[in-house]
Amino acid sequence: MNKTIRRSAVFTLLLVFALLVRATWVQFYEGTALADDKDNRRNAIATYAAPLGNIVVGGDAVTGSARTESGDLAYKRTYKDGELYAAVTGYASQSYAPTQLEGIYQDLLNGTDTRLKTVLDTLTHERADPGDVITTIDPDVQKAAYEALGDKKGAAVAIDPATGRILAVVSTPSYDPSALTDANTAGAAWKKLTADPDKPLTNRALRQPLPPGSTFKLVVAAAALEDGLYSSVDVRTDSPDPYTLPGTTTELTNENPGAPCENASIRTALQYSCNNVFARMAVKLGQDKVRAMAEKFGFDDTEQDVPVRAYTSVYPTGMDESSTALTGIGQYDVTATPLQMAMVSAAIANDGKLVAPHMVAQITDGGGDVLEDYDARAGTERVVSASTAKQLRSAMETVVEDGTGTNARIDGATVGGKTGTAQHGEKNSKTPYAWFTSYGKAGGKEVAVAVVVEQSDAARSEVSGNGLAAPVAKAAMEAALGD
């Protein structure tokens, strides 16, 4: 063989090798990428070729699947009491990416989760039977909170302090996920929902942090007791009334000018929601100690998954003393979700221990066998000592018995709470936010509830945590505690 033929043969072999490499790349890498592309119609066809698995509340499925009348998508998602559970389920749409539990567990619900495959499925390359998501939501608590919020714009979260089980996640105004399931009608529904100024698609319970107002005073009080700044909730504090913010001439006053807030104890300051006491307390502690306590309760956690990822509740950094004082009353740049404030009350109710909140108990395969048990693996962290928690419970019970939270009283139950009214808008030009965080105990049962009302039909002068948010929390606690 002469040199020219050898070179031609080698070159030809290199071309063949390059072609094989390229074919392999397209087949195994780009092919996978194309198969996983959200715009690949075949994925939607495969997802909706058979009924999906279900999301279960209180033993009953709140989702389902229905045959479509035409087209290449054989089934579509359906919802039972869609508006009631939208903040829990989210939606599974033929046109849009799934959200909430529908999105997190989409592989489980459509049968593509590898844990669902049997040996036969692997050999035949058939899609496995879909699994189910078993939630911790209590339908009675969910319904009670939802109906109590009514036409108010707001949210509520209820937690079992001993187990971390989330019993209710409510956001109003809500929406019906069924409107988004069918590709033929989803576009118009989506346009209407996204144009609504009340933003019904926003999960206010988990994903809209707002200034928590005076409910944050519980965190400051916990920091003061743990630090030893005050030995008990009944020791008088050094708190002038009004309190001049450090480095300014601005006097911080109290909502009730006749309240006994001058040098008040923590109990009295919580009972009457004395701004001067907690602003001064935050300055004496310093922002680092307040932040450290806030972070123990869950603030500044960027990966708070329940399993839906909640937006981070924030305690700010880099402040001067006057700003630190304002954080002591839950203002300045402090923000919190209802989930976060429910966690504060839950930890106090549970002797200072915070059990990781979660709204999924288990996920199961098509035959009902448990794939993951989230109840069993929920971690527990100590936030404050049992002594501090006991003192804070005592003070919170005073708030409900004879303070600013009397609308949360429940006959036959022990209830503790803290009201909050947070400024909204430049120079408080908009309607304030009304907050209430609480716990209730009766007959061996317990529950922690946080509520925020962003907007209602109440006159501005009537907006308060006790007037708007406490009745919602009471309704949820009554449902959780039963008779």
Of the candidates 174, 214, 265, 273, the residue annotated as catalytic is 214
Is the backbone of residue 83 left (phi > 0), alpha (psi -120 to 50) or beta? alpha
Pairing of β 380-382 and β 153-159: unpaired
C-alpha span between 298 and 303 (Å, rounded) = 10
Size of the chain in residues:
483
Question: Which amino acid is present at 469?
Answer: A
Tell which residue, 229, 244, 214, has the closest CA to residue 281. 229
Residue 414 phi/psi, 5° resolution?
A: -90, 120
Tell which residue, 150, 64, 38, has the closest CA to residue 456. 150
Residue 111 phi/psi, 5° resolution?
A: 90, 5
Range 49-61 burial, b when 16+ CB lie within 10 A, else e: eebbbbbbbeeee
C-alpha span between 328 and 314 (Å, rounded) = 13
Tell which residue, 234, 235, 476, 173, has the closest CA to residue 342. 476
Residue 327 phi/psi, 5° resolution?
A: -65, -25
Residues in Cβ contact with 286 at an 8 Å cutoff, skipping those fewer than 6 apart: 324
Q: Which residue has the tokens 């990428």?
A: 33
C-alpha span between 439 and 207 (Å, rounded) = 22
Residue 460 phi/psi, 5° resolution?
A: -55, -40
C-alpha span between 424 and 345 (Å, rounded) = 24
Token pair recorded at residue 180: 């988004």
- CA angle centred on 225, ends 473 and 255, rounded to 5°: 50
- Is 214 designated active site? yes
C-alpha span between 232 and 229 (Å, rounded) = 9
Question: Which amino acid is present at 224?
Answer: A
Tell which residue, 54, 25, 201, 53, has the closest CA to residue 129. 53
Which residue numbers are catalytic?
214
